[in-house]
Each structure stands twice: as C-alpha cells, then as structure tokens.
Amino acid sequence: MALQDRIATLREQLEHPAPKKWYKKWWGILFLLCLFLLISFIVASALYVYRTARDINLNRSSLETAQMLQESKLLSEGQNNYFMGTTTPKVTIVEFADFACPYCKDNFPVVRELGLKYKDDVKIIYRDYLGHDNSLDLALAARCAGEQGKFWAMHDKLFTNQGKIALTDLPLLAQQIGLKVNDFNTCLSSKKYLMHVREDINAAEGFDITKTPTWIINGNQSSYKIEGAIGRDDFIKIIDSLLP
C-alpha cells in the first residue's frame, strides 16, 4: 500500500472511529457488574443452603448418637442402684451379681479393693440378677439396708456369710451393721424394692446376660461385656487400659 493510501486510511479511522463493543460501553460494564453480583449472590445463597442443610443433618445425627449413648448408659447403669467410686468416672463398671452366687462371692473382695484403689477414676455399680433359691430376699435385704445408708455394709455381710445363714438371720445381720431393725424388717417383709430388682433383671436380659457375675464396662461408649469372675490382676489390666 502506498504511503498516501496509508495516510488516508489512518485519517479515515481517526475521523470515523469504529463503534465501541457493547461490553466496553458504560452501560455494558454496569450490566456485567450487576450480572456478576447476581451470580455471586446465587452461588452464596446456594452454599448457605447447602451448609445449613449439612449442619442440620450433622446436628440431627449428633443428637441421635447422643440419645443412643444415653439410652445405652441408662440401660446398663439403671437409676436405682448403689455404686462405689466417683460420680464423674473415666471408666464405669456395672456388675450384675447375685448374693447367693458363689462366683460373685469369690469376686467381691476384688471389687471392693479396686473400688477403693480407683475411687477417683472409676464408678462400680452393683445390680441384681437372680439365679438361686434365696436370691430375691437377699437382694431386697441389701436394698432395705441401703435405705438406711448401709447397702455396702450389708453387701459385704451377705457375701461373707453366704451359705452360713438362713433368711431368718437377716435381722441379725441388720442389727450387726447398725440398722434400725424394725424399719428393716418392715421394708423386707413388704418387698418394698421389688420393682427396682425387676428393673435390674430386665436390663440384664437386654444385654443377654445369663450368668453371674457379668460385667458391662463403659456401657455408654465402647461397651463390652465380660462374663464370669475376673481375677485381680486381670481386672487391673482392664481398668488401666481404659483410663486415659
């Protein structure tokens, strides 16, 4: 192209510039800005709805899990039972036992010793599961002693004297541990705490317990069941493995 033609072309472009594209004009820029804001709003709203729905599902799941744990804890621990140790345990041990069971008798000194040894970290709960001729009367006797704050004293007496006493000797045991014998006899004869014993039996059946002693350990968390007597050293290993 000749020089004169180039000059003419440049002059033409200067005098008659090409029209601006729409997205370069002020209203086009404003439109794009509004569109960007609208899309951002839609995306943010969608994220908010998604996160809200996710949090609701997580909260529901957490509540359901907490409810299941609470139900499991209630089933294993019950509400009307006696315990030794702390009210804020790191480990909870529930013993389903029978005052007429010889294996429970063999294990009870271990339970009492470890209850003292781990009194600041462990909670040991005694619950009834009946399997012998006089089991119900013995269980009621312990609860009637508990009414006067002497459950564990009667607990020890019943196991220590297992096989040596008749049911007619229960008032004598009550007298030996300092109970008001008339109140004890009234409580025992009326079977005042029969419903509490039945609650324990129902709970035991819920855990498919068939023998005594049976232990439910940490029933509200990673619960597991051990059947039969547990030796002192094995018991210590179990507890130590569960303590943080």
Q: What is the token pair recorded at 101?
A: 């069971």
The string of pLDDT tens digits covering residues 157-174 is 999 999 999 999 999 999
The string of pLDDT tens digits covering residues 60-82 is 444 444 445 455 566 678 788 99
Please give the torsion angle defined by the CA atoms of residues 127, 128, 131 and 136, in that order, rounded to the nearest 10 degrees. 160
Residue 24, domain extent: 1-71
Residues 6+ apart with CB under 8 A from 133: 100
Q: What are phi and psi of 148, to 5 degrees?
A: -105, 20
What's the pLDDT score for residue 35? 74
Cβ–Cβ < 8 Å for 67, 188: no
Q: Are residues 87 and 12 in the same domain?
A: no
The string of pLDDT tens digits covering residues 1-42 is 565 666 566 555 555 555 666 556 666 677 777 777 778 777
Q: What is the token pair recorded at 32?
A: 């794009």
| Confidence at 221, pLDDT banded by 50, 70, 90 | very low
Domain count, the chain: 2
Q: Are residues 132 and 66 in the same domain?
A: no
Using a cut of 0.75, tell me whether the model's pTM lies above it.
Answer: no
Mean pLDDT in residue range 130-152: 96
Q: Of 71, 105, 126, which residue sits at a domain end?
A: 71
Q: Are residues 37 and 88 in the same domain?
A: no
Q: Are residues 111 and 175 in the same domain?
A: yes
Q: Of 71, 103, 123, which residue sits at a domain end?
A: 71
